[in-house]
A = this chain, B = another copy of it.
Amino acid sequence: MEIRNIDDVRQFAAEKLRKHNLFQTERFFLDVYCLAPGQEQKPHAHEDADKVYVVLEGRCRFTVDGAAEEHGPSVAIFCPAGSSHGVINAGAGPARLLVWMSPPPAR
């Protein structure tokens, strides 16, 4: 059985947000993003793929199509295909996000 313990995925990088893949197929990926304070994923769009962020830890400021909101643990944010979306760790501590995308981009 293929399993991952999300609590174990908390490796950060000094230079930029770190992405850890848990599972990926041609249909989706599931990642954990680890963001030190101030680190961000700049707003960008995928024309034909949906994304959902779920906050595991910390406080992040999300931007979806120009609207900005700050959210903490247990909040899920939907970024539909074509939307401009981004996130920054707006808190004083580490932030971790569960990130689903369907289908995955080439990478």
Contact = CB atoms under 8 A, between A and B. Distances in A.
A75 B2 contact: no
A103 B3 contact: no
A45 interface: no
A94 interface: no
Interface string A59-75: 00010100101010011
A84 to B, nearest CB: 12
Interface in A45-100: 49-50, 52, 54, 62, 64, 67, 69, 71, 74-78, 80-81, 98, 100
A50 to B, nearest CB: 5
23 contacts: A1-B62, A1-B67, A2-B78, A2-B80, A3-B75, A3-B77, A3-B78, A4-B78, A5-B75, A6-B54, A6-B75, A22-B76, A23-B78, A25-B81, A27-B103, A28-B28, A28-B50, A28-B100, A30-B52, A30-B76, A54-B98, A102-B102, A102-B103
